[in-house]
Structure 1
Amino acid sequence: MYLPLLLLFSVLWQETLAKTPINPLLWFREPCSPNDSPYHPGLRGRNGVYWGWNPDIERGDNISMINRATGHHANASTVSIFSQINSPDGFDGHQLLRHLDEIKGTGAALIASVMPNGLSFNEVTPAIAADIAKVVRQFTDQGIEVWLRFAHEMNWYVRPGTYRGNSTQFVKAWRTVHSAVKDIEGCMMFWCPNNAKTMDLYEEWWPGPEYVDIVGMDIYASKTTANFRNIYGGFYEAYAKKYRKHFVIPETATKPDTAELKQSWLKALASDDLSAYPCLKSISWFELRKSFDYRVVMGQGNAAMEKTLGNFR
């Protein structure tokens, strides 16, 4: 009589373990608390903020290469990968899934930037949302924490027509995706607009606090005087502090790409004292070559690399 019950309990327990992040970074962690629990073994700045990278995957640089380049320092805490929904007929997530085993091996959380490029916000149906959830589950079932950055920089990408629709349609699409993933153990919805000129320009794109787990903003510093307060301060107060949400910088670097500016901005984020911003949990550097060479690890000389790594524990 007891043996079948024990076997059933064993199966259920194993399934629970499989769906719980192996190295939880924000999962189970209290937003806006300086208490670093649960502990994650990944890379951090000298100020204690977790650190990761957007690797230049299309040019052959993966997260394992960046981890090796940082030498004795810990593996990246996060890895950010972009994936496009190219059709209203479905989403297979192949751009993410081809890196599943590698990400699992590093212990990083995945920032999955899912971009609805091939359909309008109105075409983000429950069926599309279910496809996204299916892809997410393939990571979470392997113990990988996923921060689902759906339609990031929505306020920017609607301008050139990369995303199609308005803010009302975006909010509806966001909530449809949220409904599909909200019960997935280890998945968190990550709202991330692009930098706007005034704070009021974000509000129409805000899905509502009950639909968001993490907030953040993409911006590229252009002056050596840039610091967290004068770049992110207003946004942090309005969304992270006000709603008690984890604050994550998922994509940043500098324009222009001068060594002086990159090192100045890197120091401001990884070495400066940011204890006044307890909601800030993680930063990811845009380690790519695009309109500029944003990289601070790959392709640098020894002296520059030594200066970069001096910002990390």
Structure 2
Amino acid sequence: MLWSVIAVAAALVQAAAPLEPADGKIFLGAWYDRNNSDTPNAINQRFNYKPLSFFQTDIDMSGVKWWTAPEVVLPQFRQQLKDTKTDAFAMLTVYPFGGFDAITEKQLADMATGLNNLVNDGHQVFFRFASEMNGSWFQYGQDPIGFVNAWRKFVTYWRNALGPNASKVAFIWSPNSGNGYPFLKQEFSFNVSATDAKSLANFKALDTNGDGVYDKLDDPYTPFYPGDDYVDWVGISIYHYGSVYNDNFASWIDNVIPDSSKFEKFLNGFPAQGNDYGYAPLYTYFSSPTGVKDPLTGAVLSKGGKPMIISETAATYHFAWKDPVGKPTPVPDTVDTFTRLQIKQAWWRSFLNTEFLAKYPQIKAASTFEFIKAEEATWRDFTMFGAAPDTQGGPSFAALDNDVVQGFAKDVQNMTFLAFANVVGNATITKTTSGAVSTASVTGIVMALGAFFLSL
């Protein structure tokens, strides 16, 4: 009987990924606009409810973009997290803009030091490396063999270098949602005509159905999956840009309320409208007990069951042309339609509700995308927690964004499934007090049960 109890407890240890909260709880965080002088503390103040569970920022560990180099970003990030006076997690989105082969051992070691510093400060870490690797807008994209090899090598290195802090860092594998895949009209789209050995090997990996064509019917996720042993959490990027892509302006431009099922269709595919939502079910593959097998060989690619984070999400509001010359004024379909609040509220309500989360119980965290920036032909407001302190647009613009954050603050009071950070002051509080399952706590149960049964 003793060994049965220990086996059950050991299974619990294995089942709980690093940083995974208790069943029924979800961490809520925000990717803040560091370059526009926003801060975690400013977001908490605008929210004016409870401190968010985590804050996300980005780093280019390859050194190509010096202003996002680790030595520039991490000291600032550490101080900004300290300023919140909470035990909020740090979420790092780490880009290898110089390519996988350009990463040096010193850069790996420096990153490990940065991770240890954050953990020692009292902030556990979500680590999202080379995100959206299935896309074609980053130099490292659509290179499944290079990505998988790099991921396995780097994650193994960092886990070893973290030592006792390894259980406080969760490595997140996070592709883009499959709608629009294989994204063949982007800057770094895979060259289907290439005949070099690397390209031919990648083509074979990308052609998941083996029909000799790389197209929308190929799986957007499985070629890039490093394997269950190398992944702690699975993530995804999901956005609402509008209802119809405008070919005349080569851009999304319309401000419409998203359909209540849109988020779910992006998350798990919707083959009946695969061109719009994607064909492959990411959640089913990697977070449900179903898992996924290679359709050609039958080999198990994932056993599933991974906790999932919505790594970045937002409903956009188009408010101006990027280049107004020769364009109608104002932006088409943005006047007398829907407000920022109506659009964004419909989006968060579509997945932050008990019915949706009961259907997808492995969704354990979500991060909003707190940016106002130009993309394609329009300026877009992605924010949910209000405009950054010095954002462009003037008082009336800030007021419109304030309506959004106040609307969310009102809705969130009924979201009892959300977990928030602890205020720590001078104390050291682990995230276990907020409902996370730690290896140490379950190990203690095992030891106690063992001692009890040995005494019988």
Shorter-chain TM-score bucket reads 0.7 to 0.9
Q: Name the count of aligned residue pairs.
A: 272
Structure 1 counterpart of 2:407:
307
- Shift, 1:29, TM fit: 7.8
Are the aligned partners of 1:56 and 1:288 in contact in 2 as well (CA < 8 Å)?
yes
Question: Structure 2: how far apart are the matches of 1:109 and 1:306?
Answer: 24
**Alignment equivalent of 2:267, drawn from 197, 216, 232:** 232
CA displacement 1:197-253 (0-9 Å, x = unmatched): 367121111111100001011020243334543221321111122321110011000
One-letter code aligned to 2:54: T
Residue 287 of structure 1 pairs with residue 370 of structure 2: yes
Are the aligned partners of 1:122 and 1:165 in contact in 2 as well (CA < 8 Å)?
no
Question: Structure 2: how far apart are the matches of 1:101 and 1:87?
Answer: 22
Are the aligned partners of 1:93 and 1:132 in contact in 2 as well (CA < 8 Å)?
no
- Shift, 1:152, TM fit: 0.8
- Shift, 1:269, TM fit: 2.6
97-106 or 183-192, which moves further after superposition? 97-106
Question: Structure 2: how far apart are the matches of 1:49 and 1:228?
Answer: 17
Aligned residue for 1:217, secondary structure, equals strand
1:228–1:165 CA distance, 2 compared to 1 (3 A): closer
Are the aligned partners of 1:120 and 1:165 in contact in 2 as well (CA < 8 Å)?
no
238-247 or 303-312, which moves further after superposition? 303-312
Structure 2 counterpart of 1:106:
86
- Shift, 1:278, TM fit: 1.6
Are the aligned partners of 2:21 and 2:27 in contact in 1 as well (CA < 8 Å)?
no
Matches within 5 A, 1:117-266: 117=97, 119-156=98-135, 159-163=136-140, 166-183=143-160, 184=162, 185=165, 186-197=168-179, 200-221=219-240, 222=242, 223-233=258-268, 234-241=281-288, 242=291, 243-257=304-318, 259=340, 260-266=342-348
Question: Structure 1: how far apart are the matches of 2:57 and 2:128?
Answer: 10
Unaligned runs of 5+ in 1: 1-26, 38-46
Structure 2 counterpart of 1:81:
57
- Shift, 1:92, TM fit: 3.7
TM-score (norm 1): 0.78
Residue 296 of structure 1 pairs with residue 384 of structure 2: yes
1:92–1:58 CA distance, 2 compared to 1 (3 A): closer
Are the aligned partners of 2:144 and 2:223 in contact in 1 as well (CA < 8 Å)?
yes
Structure 1 counterpart of 2:74:
96
1:93–1:280 CA distance, 2 compared to 1 (3 A): farther
Are the aligned partners of 1:253 and 1:294 in contact in 2 as well (CA < 8 Å)?
yes
CA displacement 1:106-128 (0-9 Å, x = unmatched): 321111001011x2212234443
- Shift, 1:143, TM fit: 2.1
- Shift, 1:69, TM fit: 0.9
1:28–1:83 CA distance, 2 compared to 1 (3 A): farther
One-letter code aligned to 2:112: A
Question: Structure 2: how far apart are the matches of 1:100 and 1:60?
Answer: 15
Aligned residue for 1:52, secondary structure, equals strand
Question: Structure 1: how far apart are the matches of 2:309 and 2:137?
Answer: 26
Unaligned runs of 5+ in 2: 1-12, 180-215, 243-257, 269-280, 292-303, 319-338, 375-379, 387-397, 414-456
Aligned residue for 2:152, secondary structure, equals helix
Structure 1 counterpart of 2:360:
277
Question: Structure 2: how far apart are the matches of 1:239 and 1:254?
Answer: 25
One-letter code aligned to 1:177: F
Question: Structure 2: how far apart are the matches of 1:141 and 1:60?
Answer: 26
Identity of aligned residues (%): 24
Aligned residue for 1:201, secondary structure, equals coil
Are the aligned partners of 2:62 and 2:102 in contact in 1 as well (CA < 8 Å)?
no
Structure 2 counterpart of 1:23:
none
Are the aligned partners of 1:191 and 1:214 in contact in 2 as well (CA < 8 Å)?
yes
Question: Structure 1: how far apart are the matches of 2:308 and 2:40?
Answer: 23
Question: Structure 2: how far apart are the matches of 1:307 and 1:127?
Answer: 46
Question: Structure 2: how far apart are the matches of 1:219 and 1:87?
Answer: 28
Q: CA RMSD in A?
A: 2.8
